[in-house]
Amino acid sequence: MHPQTEAYWGNVNPIGIRSCYDEGKRASETLMMDYHRQNRVDIKIVRIFNTYGPRMLKNDGRVVSNFIVQALKGHDITVYGEGPRPVRSAMLTTWSTAWSG
């Protein structure tokens, strides 16, 4: 089960606070696809999300670091999402680089 399908094209605010991040991803994928079409070479577009690893900061506000800090402090664990079965996934950084290579 995945929260959204690959057919979903997204909803990007081009002038919002996160626009440089969102539009940067879109621009890089567009450039890669243009390079692929022009030069007929194989490419891979990998959308890495919710990664964690040894150099994470404990206060970076991401799901995995929040989970670990809350567990170590003996606090209740925050489960993000809505509905009876919120879905989250996380990937170790070394797994994501090995998988995408």
Active site members? 21
Residue 43 and residue 32 in contact, taking contact as beta carbons nearer than 8 Å? yes
Question: Which residue is associated with the tokens 């891979």?
Answer: 44
Contacts of 84 (CB under 8 A, 6+ apart): none
